[in-house]
Structure 1
Protein backbone atom coordinates (compact mmCIF):
# COMPACT_ATOMS: atom_id res chain seq x y z
CA UNK A 1 0.00 0.00 0.00
CA UNK A 2 1.32 3.41 -0.98
CA UNK A 3 0.05 6.70 0.41
CA UNK A 4 0.13 9.59 -2.06
CA UNK A 5 -0.10 13.05 -0.51
CA UNK A 6 -1.04 16.07 -2.59
CA UNK A 7 -3.09 13.60 -4.59
CA UNK A 8 -5.29 16.22 -6.27
CA UNK A 9 -2.38 18.16 -7.78
CA UNK A 10 -0.53 17.73 -11.07
CA UNK A 11 2.19 15.39 -9.80
CA UNK A 12 0.22 13.62 -7.09
CA UNK A 13 -2.69 12.74 -9.36
CA UNK A 14 -0.27 11.44 -12.01
CA UNK A 15 1.46 9.25 -9.41
CA UNK A 16 -1.92 7.79 -8.37
CA UNK A 17 -2.80 7.04 -12.02
CA UNK A 18 0.54 5.37 -12.69
CA UNK A 19 0.35 3.22 -9.57
CA UNK A 20 -3.23 2.21 -10.37
CA UNK A 21 -2.22 1.28 -13.92
CA UNK A 22 0.43 -1.04 -12.46
CA UNK A 23 -2.07 -2.62 -10.11
CA UNK A 24 -0.37 -1.17 -7.03
CA UNK A 25 -2.76 -0.31 -4.16
CA UNK A 26 -2.67 3.40 -3.41
CA UNK A 27 -4.37 5.79 -1.00
CA UNK A 28 -4.94 9.32 -2.26
CA UNK A 29 -4.61 11.78 0.61
CA UNK A 30 -5.99 15.30 0.54
CA UNK A 31 -8.07 17.53 2.78
CA UNK A 32 -11.26 16.52 0.98
CA UNK A 33 -10.44 13.20 -0.72
CA UNK A 34 -10.95 9.54 0.11
CA UNK A 35 -8.20 9.71 2.72
CA UNK A 36 -8.79 12.96 4.57
CA UNK A 37 -5.82 14.29 6.47
CA UNK A 38 -4.22 17.64 7.05
CA UNK A 39 -0.53 18.36 7.62
CA UNK A 40 -1.59 21.02 10.13
CA UNK A 41 -3.30 18.30 12.19
CA UNK A 42 -0.65 15.66 12.97
CA UNK A 43 -3.24 13.42 14.63
CA UNK A 44 -5.04 13.11 11.28
CA UNK A 45 -1.90 11.72 9.68
CA UNK A 46 -1.74 8.65 11.90
CA UNK A 47 -4.70 6.79 10.35
CA UNK A 48 -3.57 7.89 6.89
CA UNK A 49 -0.24 6.05 7.21
CA UNK A 50 -1.56 3.00 9.06
CA UNK A 51 -0.70 -0.16 7.10
CA UNK A 52 1.27 1.79 4.51
CA UNK A 53 4.56 0.53 3.06
CA UNK A 54 5.67 3.74 1.30
CA UNK A 55 4.67 7.41 1.20
CA UNK A 56 4.92 9.89 -1.64
CA UNK A 57 5.46 13.12 0.28
CA UNK A 58 4.31 16.27 -1.49
CA UNK A 59 3.67 19.37 0.59
CA UNK A 60 2.17 22.59 -0.76
CA UNK A 61 4.55 25.55 -1.27
CA UNK A 62 4.85 27.91 1.67
CA UNK A 63 6.77 28.72 4.79
CA UNK A 64 5.24 25.72 6.61
CA UNK A 65 6.79 23.11 4.29
CA UNK A 66 9.44 22.12 6.89
CA UNK A 67 6.81 21.69 9.59
CA UNK A 68 4.54 19.68 7.30
CA UNK A 69 7.40 17.47 6.12
CA UNK A 70 8.44 16.70 9.68
CA UNK A 71 4.85 15.92 10.70
CA UNK A 72 4.50 13.29 7.98
CA UNK A 73 7.96 11.84 8.60
CA UNK A 74 7.17 11.51 12.31
CA UNK A 75 3.86 9.80 11.55
CA UNK A 76 5.54 7.47 9.04
CA UNK A 77 8.22 6.40 11.52
CA UNK A 78 5.63 5.75 14.22
CA UNK A 79 3.49 3.66 11.85
CA UNK A 80 6.36 1.48 10.64
CA UNK A 81 6.38 2.85 7.11
CA UNK A 82 9.42 1.56 5.23
CA UNK A 83 10.09 4.26 2.64
CA UNK A 84 9.34 7.91 1.81
CA UNK A 85 9.83 9.50 -1.61
CA UNK A 86 9.87 13.25 -1.11
CA UNK A 87 9.09 15.75 -3.83
CA UNK A 88 11.51 18.55 -3.06
CA UNK A 89 12.42 21.42 -5.40
CA UNK A 90 15.59 22.73 -6.93
CA UNK A 91 16.79 26.00 -5.46
CA UNK A 92 19.38 26.74 -8.12
CA UNK A 93 22.28 24.72 -9.54
CA UNK A 94 20.87 21.51 -8.09
CA UNK A 95 20.69 22.56 -4.43
CA UNK A 96 17.40 22.19 -2.53
CA UNK A 97 15.13 25.16 -2.13
CA UNK A 98 15.09 26.93 1.22
CA UNK A 99 11.70 25.47 2.13
CA UNK A 100 12.63 21.88 1.35
CA UNK A 101 16.14 21.59 2.80
CA UNK A 102 14.94 20.98 6.41
CA UNK A 103 12.60 18.22 5.26
CA UNK A 104 15.36 16.56 3.28
CA UNK A 105 17.57 16.65 6.37
CA UNK A 106 14.82 15.27 8.60
CA UNK A 107 14.20 12.43 6.15
CA UNK A 108 17.88 11.54 5.93
CA UNK A 109 18.04 11.25 9.73
CA UNK A 110 14.75 9.41 10.16
CA UNK A 111 15.94 5.84 9.75
CA UNK A 112 13.50 5.36 6.86
CA UNK A 113 14.52 4.38 3.37
CA UNK A 114 14.15 7.50 1.22
CA UNK A 115 14.47 9.05 -2.20
CA UNK A 116 14.49 12.80 -2.83
CA UNK A 117 13.35 14.38 -6.10
CA UNK A 118 14.39 17.96 -6.92
CA UNK A 119 12.60 18.98 -10.11
CA UNK A 120 13.44 22.10 -12.05
CA UNK A 121 10.66 24.36 -13.38
CA UNK A 122 7.64 22.43 -14.64
CA UNK A 123 6.66 22.64 -18.31
CA UNK A 124 3.06 22.86 -17.09
CA UNK A 125 3.76 26.33 -15.66
CA UNK A 126 3.17 27.46 -19.24
CA UNK A 127 -0.54 26.78 -18.74
CA UNK A 128 -0.58 30.11 -16.93
CA UNK A 129 -0.03 31.75 -20.32
CA UNK A 130 -3.22 30.34 -21.84
CA UNK A 131 -5.36 33.37 -21.04
CA UNK A 132 -2.88 35.80 -22.61
CA UNK A 133 -2.49 33.61 -25.68
CA UNK A 134 -6.23 33.26 -26.21
CA UNK A 135 -6.68 37.02 -25.77
CA UNK A 136 -3.88 37.78 -28.23
CA UNK A 137 -1.80 39.50 -25.55
CA UNK A 138 1.98 39.16 -25.08
CA UNK A 139 3.15 36.59 -22.56
CA UNK A 140 4.74 38.08 -19.42
CA UNK A 141 8.43 37.15 -19.05
CA UNK A 142 9.90 37.67 -15.59
CA UNK A 143 13.15 35.80 -16.19
CA UNK A 144 14.59 37.58 -19.24
CA UNK A 145 16.98 35.34 -21.17
CA UNK A 146 17.56 33.11 -18.14
CA UNK A 147 17.30 29.46 -19.16
CA UNK A 148 16.31 26.37 -17.18
CA UNK A 149 16.12 22.64 -17.72
CA UNK A 150 12.32 22.76 -17.83
CA UNK A 151 10.93 19.32 -16.94
CA UNK A 152 7.71 17.58 -17.96
CA UNK A 153 5.63 16.76 -14.85
CA UNK A 154 4.90 13.34 -16.35
CA UNK A 155 8.59 12.51 -16.12
CA UNK A 156 8.67 13.61 -12.48
CA UNK A 157 5.69 11.38 -11.66
CA UNK A 158 7.25 8.41 -13.45
CA UNK A 159 10.53 8.83 -11.55
CA UNK A 160 8.56 9.06 -8.29
CA UNK A 161 6.84 5.75 -9.01
CA UNK A 162 10.18 4.07 -9.73
CA UNK A 163 11.45 5.36 -6.39
CA UNK A 164 8.38 4.08 -4.57
CA UNK A 165 8.52 0.62 -6.10
CA UNK A 166 12.23 -0.18 -6.40
CA UNK A 167 14.86 -0.25 -3.67
CA UNK A 168 17.72 0.59 -6.05
CA UNK A 169 16.77 4.27 -5.65
CA UNK A 170 16.96 4.26 -1.85
CA UNK A 171 19.25 6.99 -0.56
CA UNK A 172 19.35 8.76 -3.93
CA UNK A 173 18.74 12.44 -4.60
CA UNK A 174 17.72 13.14 -8.19
CA UNK A 175 17.72 16.58 -9.80
CA UNK A 176 15.07 16.26 -12.49
CA UNK A 177 15.32 18.40 -15.60
CA UNK A 178 14.39 18.28 -19.22
CA UNK A 179 17.06 17.48 -21.83
CA UNK A 180 17.87 21.08 -22.76
CA UNK A 181 18.07 24.60 -21.39
CA UNK A 182 15.18 26.81 -22.48
CA UNK A 183 14.26 30.39 -21.57
CA UNK A 184 10.74 31.78 -21.54
CA UNK A 185 11.28 33.29 -25.03
CA UNK A 186 12.50 29.85 -26.20
CA UNK A 187 9.40 28.19 -24.78
CA UNK A 188 7.11 30.77 -26.33
CA UNK A 189 8.80 30.37 -29.72
CA UNK A 190 8.34 26.61 -29.58
CA UNK A 191 4.75 26.98 -28.48
CA UNK A 192 4.12 29.40 -31.37
CA UNK A 193 5.40 26.77 -33.81
CA UNK A 194 3.18 24.11 -32.25
CA UNK A 195 0.11 26.36 -32.40
CA UNK A 196 0.95 27.73 -35.82
CA UNK A 197 0.48 31.36 -34.79
CA UNK A 198 2.80 34.19 -33.78
CA UNK A 199 3.31 34.78 -30.08
CA UNK A 200 5.20 37.53 -28.30
CA UNK A 201 6.63 38.10 -24.84
CA UNK A 202 6.83 41.26 -22.77
CA UNK A 203 9.46 41.80 -20.10
CA UNK A 204 7.93 42.15 -16.62
CA UNK A 205 9.84 42.67 -13.36
CA UNK A 206 9.61 39.74 -10.92
CA UNK A 207 8.25 42.11 -8.27
CA UNK A 208 4.96 42.09 -10.19
CA UNK A 209 4.25 38.84 -8.36
CA UNK A 210 3.86 40.77 -5.12
CA UNK A 211 0.59 42.29 -6.33
CA UNK A 212 -1.05 39.04 -7.45
CA UNK A 213 -2.67 38.13 -4.16
CA UNK A 214 -0.31 35.29 -3.32
CA UNK A 215 0.39 34.36 0.29
CA UNK A 216 3.27 36.71 1.26
CA UNK A 217 5.91 34.03 1.88
CA UNK A 218 5.04 32.35 -1.42
CA UNK A 219 5.19 35.65 -3.30
CA UNK A 220 8.54 36.60 -1.79
CA UNK A 221 10.06 33.21 -2.55
CA UNK A 222 8.71 33.37 -6.09
CA UNK A 223 10.29 36.78 -6.66
CA UNK A 224 13.65 35.48 -5.45
CA UNK A 225 13.29 32.49 -7.72
CA UNK A 226 12.58 34.62 -10.77
CA UNK A 227 15.65 36.76 -10.07
CA UNK A 228 17.73 33.60 -9.65
CA UNK A 229 16.67 32.27 -13.03
CA UNK A 230 17.14 35.67 -14.68
CA UNK A 231 20.75 35.69 -13.42
CA UNK A 232 21.42 32.20 -14.78
CA UNK A 233 21.29 30.55 -11.37
CA UNK A 234 19.18 27.60 -12.49
CA UNK A 235 20.85 26.93 -15.85
CA UNK A 236 21.27 23.22 -15.14
CA UNK A 237 20.57 20.05 -17.10
CA UNK A 238 21.05 16.55 -15.69
CA UNK A 239 20.54 13.04 -17.06
CA UNK A 240 18.78 11.82 -13.92
CA UNK A 241 15.42 11.30 -15.67
CA UNK A 242 17.08 9.25 -18.38
CA UNK A 243 19.10 7.19 -15.88
CA UNK A 244 16.03 6.29 -13.84
CA UNK A 245 13.55 5.74 -16.69
CA UNK A 246 15.91 4.33 -19.31
CA UNK A 247 14.76 6.84 -21.94
CA UNK A 248 15.43 10.52 -22.65
CA UNK A 249 13.51 13.14 -20.72
CA UNK A 250 10.65 14.70 -22.64
CA UNK A 251 11.33 18.07 -24.26
CA UNK A 252 9.25 21.20 -23.72
CA UNK A 253 8.17 20.95 -27.35
CA UNK A 254 6.78 17.48 -26.69
CA UNK A 255 4.87 18.76 -23.68
CA UNK A 256 3.52 21.71 -25.70
CA UNK A 257 2.42 19.44 -28.54
CA UNK A 258 0.61 17.11 -26.16
CA UNK A 259 -1.17 20.05 -24.46
CA UNK A 260 -1.82 22.34 -27.40
CA UNK A 261 -5.60 22.27 -26.92
CA UNK A 262 -5.18 24.09 -23.59
CA UNK A 263 -3.98 27.18 -25.52
CA UNK A 264 -6.50 27.15 -28.35
CA UNK A 265 -9.63 29.25 -28.38
CA UNK A 266 -12.79 27.28 -27.51
CA UNK A 267 -14.74 26.33 -30.60
CA UNK A 268 -18.06 28.13 -30.84
CA UNK A 269 -21.24 26.28 -31.56
Structure 2
Protein backbone atom coordinates (compact mmCIF):
# COMPACT_ATOMS: atom_id res chain seq x y z
CA UNK A 1 0.00 0.00 0.00
CA UNK A 2 1.31 3.44 -0.99
CA UNK A 3 0.00 6.51 0.84
CA UNK A 4 0.07 9.70 -1.23
CA UNK A 5 -0.11 12.88 0.84
CA UNK A 6 -0.94 16.19 -0.82
CA UNK A 7 -3.02 14.06 -3.15
CA UNK A 8 -5.12 16.86 -4.65
CA UNK A 9 -2.17 19.09 -5.55
CA UNK A 10 -0.19 19.46 -8.78
CA UNK A 11 2.27 16.64 -8.06
CA UNK A 12 0.17 14.46 -5.76
CA UNK A 13 -2.78 14.21 -8.15
CA UNK A 14 -0.51 13.15 -11.03
CA UNK A 15 1.32 10.62 -8.84
CA UNK A 16 -2.03 9.18 -7.84
CA UNK A 17 -3.12 8.94 -11.48
CA UNK A 18 0.10 7.20 -12.52
CA UNK A 19 0.06 4.75 -9.61
CA UNK A 20 -3.53 3.71 -10.23
CA UNK A 21 -2.76 3.29 -13.95
CA UNK A 22 0.04 0.89 -12.93
CA UNK A 23 -2.37 -1.05 -10.73
CA UNK A 24 -0.55 -0.17 -7.52
CA UNK A 25 -2.56 -0.28 -4.28
CA UNK A 26 -2.90 3.36 -3.22
CA UNK A 27 -4.46 5.54 -0.57
CA UNK A 28 -4.76 9.31 -0.95
CA UNK A 29 -4.59 11.56 2.10
CA UNK A 30 -6.44 14.86 1.94
CA UNK A 31 -8.40 17.07 4.31
CA UNK A 32 -11.48 16.47 2.15
CA UNK A 33 -11.52 12.82 1.03
CA UNK A 34 -14.81 13.34 -0.82
CA UNK A 35 -12.69 14.83 -3.61
CA UNK A 36 -11.08 11.40 -4.02
CA UNK A 37 -13.91 9.08 -3.15
CA UNK A 38 -12.28 5.94 -4.56
CA UNK A 39 -9.00 6.27 -2.67
CA UNK A 40 -9.37 9.16 -0.25
CA UNK A 41 -8.75 9.13 3.47
CA UNK A 42 -9.06 12.13 5.78
CA UNK A 43 -5.78 13.36 7.20
CA UNK A 44 -4.23 16.51 8.60
CA UNK A 45 -0.53 16.99 9.32
CA UNK A 46 -1.46 18.86 12.49
CA UNK A 47 -3.57 15.92 13.78
CA UNK A 48 -1.35 12.95 14.77
CA UNK A 49 -4.33 10.62 15.20
CA UNK A 50 -5.47 11.27 11.64
CA UNK A 51 -1.94 10.56 10.39
CA UNK A 52 -1.92 7.26 12.26
CA UNK A 53 -5.21 6.27 10.61
CA UNK A 54 -4.00 7.31 7.16
CA UNK A 55 -0.72 5.39 7.51
CA UNK A 56 -2.24 2.22 8.95
CA UNK A 57 -1.11 -0.59 6.66
CA UNK A 58 0.92 1.69 4.36
CA UNK A 59 4.33 0.26 3.43
CA UNK A 60 5.38 3.35 1.47
CA UNK A 61 4.52 7.05 1.73
CA UNK A 62 4.95 10.08 -0.50
CA UNK A 63 5.72 13.03 1.78
CA UNK A 64 4.30 16.08 0.05
CA UNK A 65 3.74 18.86 2.55
CA UNK A 66 2.14 22.19 1.73
CA UNK A 67 4.09 25.44 1.25
CA UNK A 68 3.94 27.52 4.42
CA UNK A 69 5.46 28.27 7.80
CA UNK A 70 4.33 24.91 9.22
CA UNK A 71 6.06 22.89 6.49
CA UNK A 72 8.91 21.64 8.68
CA UNK A 73 6.55 20.72 11.53
CA UNK A 74 4.34 18.82 9.09
CA UNK A 75 7.33 16.93 7.69
CA UNK A 76 8.43 15.90 11.17
CA UNK A 77 4.89 14.87 12.16
CA UNK A 78 4.58 12.67 9.06
CA UNK A 79 7.96 11.00 9.58
CA UNK A 80 7.12 10.28 13.22
CA UNK A 81 3.72 8.84 12.29
CA UNK A 82 5.31 6.69 9.56
CA UNK A 83 7.71 5.34 12.16
CA UNK A 84 4.83 4.45 14.48
CA UNK A 85 3.03 2.71 11.61
CA UNK A 86 6.03 0.60 10.62
CA UNK A 87 6.22 2.16 7.16
CA UNK A 88 9.19 0.84 5.20
CA UNK A 89 9.88 3.60 2.66
CA UNK A 90 9.40 7.36 2.40
CA UNK A 91 9.83 9.55 -0.68
CA UNK A 92 9.99 13.26 0.12
CA UNK A 93 9.27 16.08 -2.30
CA UNK A 94 11.71 18.80 -1.26
CA UNK A 95 12.92 21.90 -3.14
CA UNK A 96 15.80 22.83 -5.42
CA UNK A 97 18.80 24.11 -3.45
CA UNK A 98 17.62 22.85 -0.06
CA UNK A 99 20.31 23.21 2.59
CA UNK A 100 22.20 25.97 0.80
CA UNK A 101 21.04 28.60 3.32
CA UNK A 102 19.57 28.78 6.83
CA UNK A 103 17.64 32.00 6.16
CA UNK A 104 14.02 31.36 7.21
CA UNK A 105 12.86 33.78 4.49
CA UNK A 106 14.48 31.60 1.82
CA UNK A 107 12.52 28.49 0.82
CA UNK A 108 15.80 26.63 0.39
CA UNK A 109 15.85 26.38 4.21
CA UNK A 110 12.30 25.18 4.69
CA UNK A 111 12.77 21.52 3.76
CA UNK A 112 16.12 21.06 5.51
CA UNK A 113 14.78 19.63 8.78
CA UNK A 114 12.33 17.39 6.94
CA UNK A 115 15.10 16.00 4.75
CA UNK A 116 17.21 15.35 7.82
CA UNK A 117 14.34 13.56 9.56
CA UNK A 118 13.74 11.38 6.49
CA UNK A 119 17.40 10.39 6.27
CA UNK A 120 17.53 9.55 9.99
CA UNK A 121 14.17 7.74 10.07
CA UNK A 122 15.52 4.21 9.66
CA UNK A 123 13.29 3.79 6.60
CA UNK A 124 14.41 3.46 3.01
CA UNK A 125 14.22 6.95 1.53
CA UNK A 126 14.51 9.05 -1.60
CA UNK A 127 14.52 12.86 -1.71
CA UNK A 128 13.40 14.79 -4.79
CA UNK A 129 14.39 18.45 -5.20
CA UNK A 130 12.50 19.95 -8.14
CA UNK A 131 13.27 23.32 -9.68
CA UNK A 132 10.50 25.83 -10.42
CA UNK A 133 7.48 24.22 -12.04
CA UNK A 134 6.49 24.97 -15.63
CA UNK A 135 2.91 25.12 -14.33
CA UNK A 136 3.78 28.28 -12.38
CA UNK A 137 3.22 30.01 -15.72
CA UNK A 138 -0.51 29.58 -15.11
CA UNK A 139 -0.30 32.66 -12.88
CA UNK A 140 0.22 34.61 -16.11
CA UNK A 141 -2.80 33.14 -17.87
CA UNK A 142 -5.16 36.05 -17.18
CA UNK A 143 -2.64 38.62 -18.41
CA UNK A 144 -1.84 36.60 -21.54
CA UNK A 145 -5.53 36.09 -22.37
CA UNK A 146 -6.10 39.83 -21.93
CA UNK A 147 -3.14 40.72 -24.15
CA UNK A 148 -1.30 42.32 -21.23
CA UNK A 149 2.45 41.93 -20.53
CA UNK A 150 3.71 39.34 -18.08
CA UNK A 151 5.26 40.97 -14.98
CA UNK A 152 8.92 40.05 -14.67
CA UNK A 153 10.60 40.34 -11.27
CA UNK A 154 13.68 38.26 -12.13
CA UNK A 155 15.16 40.12 -15.11
CA UNK A 156 17.24 37.86 -17.36
CA UNK A 157 17.84 35.38 -14.54
CA UNK A 158 16.83 31.86 -15.50
CA UNK A 159 16.13 28.55 -13.89
CA UNK A 160 15.90 24.95 -14.99
CA UNK A 161 12.10 24.98 -15.14
CA UNK A 162 10.77 21.43 -14.77
CA UNK A 163 7.50 19.95 -16.00
CA UNK A 164 5.60 18.75 -12.91
CA UNK A 165 4.59 15.64 -14.85
CA UNK A 166 8.27 14.63 -14.87
CA UNK A 167 8.49 15.22 -11.13
CA UNK A 168 5.50 12.94 -10.65
CA UNK A 169 6.97 10.25 -12.90
CA UNK A 170 10.26 10.30 -11.00
CA UNK A 171 8.31 10.09 -7.73
CA UNK A 172 6.44 7.02 -8.98
CA UNK A 173 9.73 5.34 -9.91
CA UNK A 174 11.12 6.11 -6.45
CA UNK A 175 7.98 4.83 -4.74
CA UNK A 176 7.87 1.54 -6.64
CA UNK A 177 11.52 0.57 -7.24
CA UNK A 178 14.38 -0.03 -4.83
CA UNK A 179 17.08 1.34 -7.19
CA UNK A 180 16.51 4.91 -5.98
CA UNK A 181 16.77 4.32 -2.25
CA UNK A 182 19.27 6.49 -0.41
CA UNK A 183 19.42 8.95 -3.33
CA UNK A 184 18.78 12.68 -3.53
CA UNK A 185 17.76 13.85 -6.99
CA UNK A 186 17.70 17.40 -8.33
CA UNK A 187 14.96 17.62 -10.95
CA UNK A 188 15.21 20.21 -13.71
CA UNK A 189 14.09 20.62 -17.26
CA UNK A 190 16.50 20.51 -20.22
CA UNK A 191 17.33 24.23 -20.30
CA UNK A 192 17.84 27.27 -18.13
CA UNK A 193 15.08 29.67 -19.13
CA UNK A 194 14.22 33.22 -18.08
CA UNK A 195 10.80 34.87 -17.89
CA UNK A 196 11.32 36.74 -21.21
CA UNK A 197 12.33 33.45 -22.84
CA UNK A 198 9.26 31.74 -21.40
CA UNK A 199 7.12 34.54 -22.83
CA UNK A 200 8.77 34.08 -26.22
CA UNK A 201 8.00 30.36 -26.18
CA UNK A 202 4.42 31.04 -25.10
CA UNK A 203 4.07 33.42 -28.03
CA UNK A 204 5.40 30.90 -30.52
CA UNK A 205 2.86 28.30 -29.41
CA UNK A 206 -0.01 30.81 -29.34
CA UNK A 207 0.96 32.38 -32.65
CA UNK A 208 1.20 35.92 -31.29
CA UNK A 209 3.66 38.06 -29.41
CA UNK A 210 3.64 37.82 -25.61
CA UNK A 211 5.34 40.76 -23.93
CA UNK A 212 6.94 41.11 -20.51
CA UNK A 213 7.36 44.17 -18.32
CA UNK A 214 10.20 44.60 -15.82
CA UNK A 215 8.93 45.17 -12.28
CA UNK A 216 11.50 46.43 -9.74
CA UNK A 217 11.48 44.40 -6.54
CA UNK A 218 10.52 47.38 -4.39
CA UNK A 219 7.51 48.05 -6.62
CA UNK A 220 6.54 44.37 -6.50
CA UNK A 221 6.89 44.38 -2.72
CA UNK A 222 4.77 47.52 -2.32
CA UNK A 223 2.09 46.07 -4.59
CA UNK A 224 1.91 42.78 -2.72
CA UNK A 225 1.70 44.50 0.66
CA UNK A 226 -0.98 46.87 -0.63
CA UNK A 227 -3.03 43.87 -1.78
CA UNK A 228 -3.01 42.50 1.79
CA UNK A 229 -0.38 39.79 1.39
CA UNK A 230 1.28 38.42 4.54
CA UNK A 231 4.47 40.51 5.06
CA UNK A 232 6.47 37.37 5.85
CA UNK A 233 5.51 35.72 2.57
CA UNK A 234 6.20 38.95 0.72
CA UNK A 235 9.77 38.81 2.05
CA UNK A 236 9.98 35.15 1.03
CA UNK A 237 8.89 36.08 -2.49
CA UNK A 238 11.39 38.94 -2.69
CA UNK A 239 14.21 36.64 -1.56
CA UNK A 240 13.24 34.11 -4.22
CA UNK A 241 13.02 36.72 -6.99
CA UNK A 242 16.44 38.14 -6.06
CA UNK A 243 17.98 34.65 -5.99
CA UNK A 244 16.77 33.84 -9.50
CA UNK A 245 17.65 37.29 -10.85
CA UNK A 246 21.23 36.87 -9.61
CA UNK A 247 21.59 33.56 -11.47
CA UNK A 248 21.43 31.39 -8.35
CA UNK A 249 18.96 28.96 -9.92
CA UNK A 250 20.67 28.73 -13.31
CA UNK A 251 21.99 25.19 -13.13
CA UNK A 252 20.76 21.95 -14.65
CA UNK A 253 20.75 18.33 -13.54
CA UNK A 254 20.67 15.10 -15.49
CA UNK A 255 18.68 13.28 -12.81
CA UNK A 256 15.32 13.24 -14.65
CA UNK A 257 16.94 11.61 -17.67
CA UNK A 258 18.87 9.16 -15.45
CA UNK A 259 15.70 7.98 -13.71
CA UNK A 260 13.26 8.03 -16.64
CA UNK A 261 15.62 6.99 -19.41
CA UNK A 262 14.65 9.91 -21.65
CA UNK A 263 15.28 13.65 -21.77
CA UNK A 264 13.12 15.82 -19.49
CA UNK A 265 10.14 17.61 -20.97
CA UNK A 266 10.77 21.24 -21.90
CA UNK A 267 8.79 24.35 -21.03
CA UNK A 268 7.63 24.43 -24.65
CA UNK A 269 6.31 20.86 -24.26
CA UNK A 270 4.30 21.95 -21.23
CA UNK A 271 2.93 25.03 -23.03
CA UNK A 272 1.81 23.00 -26.06
CA UNK A 273 -0.13 20.66 -23.77
CA UNK A 274 -1.70 23.54 -21.77
CA UNK A 275 -2.19 26.21 -24.42
CA UNK A 276 -5.95 26.28 -23.80
CA UNK A 277 -5.31 28.00 -20.46
CA UNK A 278 -3.81 30.98 -22.29
CA UNK A 279 -6.32 31.26 -25.15
TM-score clears 0.5: yes
The answer as to 2:121 corresponding to 1:110 is: yes
| Superposition deviation, residue 237 in structure 1 | 0.5
Identify the residue that residue 37 of structure 1 maps to in structure 2.
43
Q: Secondary structure at the match of 1:70?
A: helix
Contact 2:98 2:112 in 1 (8 A): no
Which residue among 130, 154, 158 is the counterpart of 1:147? 158
* Gap runs ≥5 in structure 2: 34-39, 102-106
The answer as to 2:236 corresponding to 1:221 is: yes
Over aligned residues, Cα RMSD in angstroms? 1.6
The answer as to 2:61 corresponding to 1:46 is: no
| Superposition deviation, residue 136 in structure 1 | 1.1
Identify the residue that residue 259 of structure 1 maps to in structure 2.
274
Which residue among 40, 53, 60 is the counterpart of 2:66? 60
| Superposition deviation, residue 206 in structure 1 | 3.7
Q: How does 1:64-103 map to 2 (within 5 A)?
A: 64-91=70-97, 97-103=108-114
Deviations 1:184-242 (A, max 9, x none): 00000001000001110011134525435444443322221111000000101010000
| Superposition deviation, residue 80 in structure 1 | 0.5
The answer as to 2:202 corresponding to 1:191 is: yes
Identify the residue that residue 24 of structure 1 maps to in structure 2.
24
Contact 2:100 2:109 in 1 (8 A): no
Contact 2:158 2:247 in 1 (8 A): yes
Distance 1:115 1:234 in 2: 22
Report the CA distance shift for 1:59/1:217 in structure 2 as closer, same or farther (over 3 A). Answer: farther
Which residue among 173, 179, 188 is the counterpart of 1:168? 179
Identify the residue that residue 4 of structure 1 maps to in structure 2.
4
* Number of aligned residue pairs: 264
Q: Secondary structure at the match of 2:109?
A: coil
Report the CA distance shift for 1:82/1:237 in structure 2 as closer, same or farther (over 3 A). Answer: same
Distance 2:244 2:3 in 1: 33
Contact 2:199 2:211 in 1 (8 A): yes
Report the CA distance shift for 1:194/1:135 in structure 2 as closer, same or farther (over 3 A). Answer: same
Distance 2:98 2:73 in 1: 22
Distance 1:140 1:30 in 2: 33
* Gap runs ≥5 in structure 1: 265-269
Identify the residue that residue 267 of structure 1 maps to in structure 2.
none
